[in-house]
Amino acid sequence: MTAETQTAGKLSGSRRKRLVFLGVPTFGLSLVATTVSTYLPVLINQLSGPVLTGAMIGGEGFFGLFLPLLVGNWSDSVDTRYGSRMPFMLAAAPIIVVPLIVMPLVGSIVPMGVLLALFYVGYFTYYAPYRALYPDVVPDDLRARSQGVQKTWREIGMGVGLVGGGLLMSIGKPLPFLVAAAVFAGVTALFVRHAKDPGKGQDEERESPRQVWRNVRRLVREQPAIGWLLSANALWEFTVAGLKTFVVLYITVGLGHSSGAASAALALVAVSVMAGAITAGTAGDRLSQPRLMRWAAWVYAFALLPPLFIQSSLLVAAIVPAAVAAGAIMALPYAQLMGMLDEENHGLASGMFGLSRGAGSLLGPVVAGIAVTLLKGPLASTQGYAAVFGVASVAAFLSIFCVRGLERRERSSVPSRRRG
């Protein structure tokens, strides 16, 4: 990114193009993550059941609890001729691609689990430094809009993964994973070739994991609003992780529809989420971000309830408001966090955000899998899979309490550093 990107003011065509290009790796990350979290459960479920399926996919959250924080903070302290963030992305890319290719070819749980763990290590080693590039190069007045653009890329990747994955899997089980690996490798090569990583100008001493955790506790103690924001984000990631893990099984096993019907329904969901992200990204630079998140959380929580009680093809229309609201609330938290922390903590901010995402990604699939098993009797019409919507709705309602806490803290304290 150049100095032009760092200037405030009107969003010119060149600045818009830079924001769009900065979000390109998000497309690749979202595509591979969606492919793994949505279609690997179909393969795991053939070897086991909902509880183990949820536990294995929830491994994303386990690694997300510590890797983004440690790697993101580490990227704050190094500098190379490739910058501070880019070396981590380059090192992590093969660790993502190789397991993605091999996982669908193995036929037993243990090697699949090992490969899945390796995939998550690569994913988070790539994810945190890349996220830290945003506060490095995006000007203050475009924080929310940059996250709206990034969220749009995320939803495009998710939509392509959901729809394309289903179509490719109907042709051959390994195909979704092979195509996702190839696209991700191409996207990374394009980004590394043309992007600019400003770096830090000099290497700094890397802090120990213990000091990193001290810094996290200090920041949350000094700015309690950060704790409320990360708690809300963890609950939203909880809902998304649980739904993505079991949504295909809900449609194909619970409702008895074909994989083609599942792809069509998920395409509508992806478009709706994208619409919510774009709207929130634009509005978030002009209105109160916590207030927008609270409004969207109310819509999200209520809109998730109908599938718990109604099993009908008309249900897709009811899911659209939930998808739009999900896109809105997921586009705003990182933009809010970017405005709370100083420049030297950009990597730490990315890691803290990854920590909250990891907590939700760990618990969402696990709790949803347990709920499917326990409620298989009461929700026999969907073989228990409708339970995931009830679990997600409860988490969305709890997030409203966290956003209210964020709003109260923001009103009663002066931020340590005003932006935008």
Helix (H, G, I), strand (E, B) or coil at 83: strand
Q: Is residue 311, in this structure, part of any structural domain at all?
A: yes
Q: Is residue 26, in this structure, part of any structural domain at all?
A: yes
Our count of domains for the chain comes to 1
Q: Exposure string (b/e) for 219-254, b if CB count within 10 Å is 16 or more?
A: bbeebbbbbbbbbbbbbbbbbbbbbbbbbbbbbbbb
Q: Is residue 97, in this structure, part of any structural domain at all?
A: yes
Instruction: Give me Rg for the CA atoms of the chain.
Output: 20
Q: What is the pLDDT of residues 216-260, one digit of tens each?
A: 777 777 777 888 888 889 999 899 888 888 888 888 888 888 777
Q: Which two tokens stand for residue 290?
A: 């916590």
3-class SS shares of the chain: helix, strand, coil, % to 5:
80, 0, 20
Tell me the mean pLDDT in the region 382-388: 90
For 6, 60, 395, the CA distances from 137, given in Å and listed in that order, are 6, 28, 33
Q: Is residue 10, in this structure, part of any structural domain at all?
A: no
Q: Which residue range(s) make up the domain with 99?
A: 16-198+208-412
Q: Between residues 308 and 369, which one has the greater pLDDT?
A: 369
Q: Which two tokens stand for residue 185?
A: 């490798």
Q: Is residue 24, in this structure, part of any structural domain at all?
A: yes
Q: State the Cα–Cα distance between residues 55 and 60, nearest whole angstrom.
A: 9
Residue 30 backbone dihedrals phi, psi, to 5 degrees? -65, -40
Q: What is the pLDDT of residues 256-289, one digit of tens each?
A: 887 777 777 778 887 888 788 777 766 655 666 7
Amino acid letter, 94: P
Q: What is the pLDDT of residues 39-80, one digit of tens each?
A: 898 888 888 888 888 888 888 888 877 787 778 777 777 666
Q: Is residue 6, in this structure, part of any structural domain at all?
A: no
Q: Is residue 229, in this structure, part of any structural domain at all?
A: yes
> Per-residue pLDDT for 6 more than 70?
no
What global pTM score does this model have? 0.71
Q: Is residue 419, in this structure, part of any structural domain at all?
A: no
> Per-residue pLDDT for 376 more than 80?
yes
Q: Which two tokens stand for residue 148?
A: 């709206």
Report the CATH number that the domain containing residue 154 is assigned in CATH. 1.20.1250.20
Helix (H, G, I), strand (E, B) or coil at 108: coil
338 within 8 A of 309, measured Cβ to Cβ: no
